[in-house]
Amino acid sequence: MQYLPNILFAIALIFGVGFFVLNIRKLSRNIKLGKDVNRTDNKPARLKNMLKIALGQYKMVRRPLSGILHVIVYVGFVIINIEVLEIIVDGLFGTHRVFQGFIGNAFYGFLIGTFEILAALVFITVVIFWTRRNVANIKRFLSAEMKGWPKKDGNLILYFEMVLMTLFIVMNATDVPFQEAGVGNPISQFVAPIFNNFSAESIHLIERTSWWIHILGILVFLNYLYYSKHLHILLAFPNTYFANLNAKGQLNNLDSVTNEVKLMMDPDADPYATPEAGAEEEVPEKFGASEVTDLSWVQLMNAYTCTECGRCTSACPANLTGKKLSPRKIMMDTRDRLEEVGRNIDENKGTFKDDGKQLLNDYITPEELWACTSCNACVEECPVNIDPLSIIMDMRRYLVMEQSAAPQELNAMMSNIENNGAPWQYNQQDRLNWANEE
């Protein structure tokens, strides 16, 4: 019975980390359903992007209030969880504050004291975030796509952080030897008097209970990430590293279309030539995207990285003028459909069984796609370099090139280009008549 707590802790740790690994493997599998795209060029620029944007939170602080508050939570939560290393050692080997003996009371007190101050700041900041989400009626949190689960998810993660920070402080406040040392307790020393009238056994029980719930809560939080928008805690780093480095507004060309144009412009090419003996005839690729598997793996990672902060939608001119388009919804719909495809694969033992649905129409409507002005405001505003515009443009390509389903005005323009060599409905011979006008 002496080692029972250690055995239970080891079981909880193995189960928690093991379930997390399984979810990460599922996440990786889903992202790899996307088409391959090479993002290994210009490594120094990519590393700079990651350090500046993901680690340095550069784009977050463009909106100072929410940005600085987010930095407090980000820095505080990451640094505080350094103590998890000590908790793991203590839990596995039955020790208590094992690092205190290794690094000395002074430095250990400095670390824990810093953690306590950060925990208090995180708690206060999270309360402010909760108020902004639920009381302040900020427009970007009131959109249609933020009803139901997205709203609950945002609040749940805030409750998680409040509870974890409270448990950390209570754990320290009820650790009698730690309080008696008087080092590293700038916050918990004011909480400790609450327990003065408790018996020694009760205080010890509260300390141990707080310790257990704290570490179990961290393991639950770790596994909750996969089901939450807070997956960006992990994916922000690869997402910013593999982000598009091309100039804003530079669209990629489809190789299949480029090759077709080259064939048309080559006077020596034979469009009716058959493949040489033994060579396989190349099957034309679908133009654009109508399903998540038509998108690239980077676009799918973008969908999982979305923080649902709504900065993209709040900057979208189409959305601001009352159009149906919301770049945030584009990313949320892509993630939801990708998750649905992933569950389908799991249920059918590794293969996808046609469910009669796709990303286009069942999740994202043409009305949303054609409302986009392709201004790149959403891409510029995203704090983790997500690119909703690339998904919109790929789905537009499908509508135009596969279904001939462009708006009437666009069809007229393309017909004019095809027939007259210009967007306007003038005969080529009349295009310079304006020069003769007095």
What's the average pLDDT block by block, 10 residues per block, for the chain (438 residues)?
Answer: 89 97 96 94 95 93 91 88 91 93 89 95 96 92 93 94 96 94 92 94 96 95 93 95 90 79 79 58 74 97 96 96 96 97 95 95 96 95 96 95 88 84 79 74
Residue 93 lies in a domain: yes
Nearby residues of 217 by Cβ (< 8 Å), 6 or more positions away: 160, 163, 164, 167
Residue 53 lies in a domain: no
- Same domain, residue pair 20 and 151: yes
Residue 432 lies in a domain: no
Residue 96 lies in a domain: yes
- Number of separate domains in the chain: 2
pLDDT of residue 25: 96
- Same domain, residue pair 16 and 122: yes
pLDDT of residue 200: 94
- Same domain, residue pair 156 and 85: yes
Residue 346 lies in a domain: yes
- Same domain, residue pair 266 and 202: no
The tally of CA atoms less than 13 A away on the side-chain side of residue 5 is 14
Residue 177 lies in a domain: yes
pLDDT of residue 284: 57
- Same domain, residue pair 219 and 324: no
Residue 168 lies in a domain: yes
Of 26, 16, 27, nearest to 231 (Cα)? 27
- Same domain, residue pair 215 and 266: no
- Same domain, residue pair 106 and 219: yes
pLDDT of residue 197: 93
- Same domain, residue pair 12 and 124: yes
- Same domain, residue pair 217 and 259: no
- Same domain, residue pair 25 and 174: yes
Cβ atoms of 203 and 174 within 8 Å: the answer is: yes
CATH at residue 323: 1.10.1060
Please state, in angstroms and rounded to a whole number, the distance separating the CA atoms of residues 169 and 122: 12
pLDDT of residue 39: 93
* Domain enclosing residue 306, as ranges: 255-272+285-423
Residue 357 lies in a domain: yes
Cβ atoms of 331 and 306 within 8 Å: the answer is: yes
Mapped to the 3 state alphabet, what secondary structure does 80-113 carry? HCCHHHHHHHHHHHCCCCHHHHHHCHHHHHHHHH
Q: Which residue shows structure tokens 């598997």? A: 293
- Same domain, residue pair 176 and 266: no
- Same domain, residue pair 266 and 380: yes
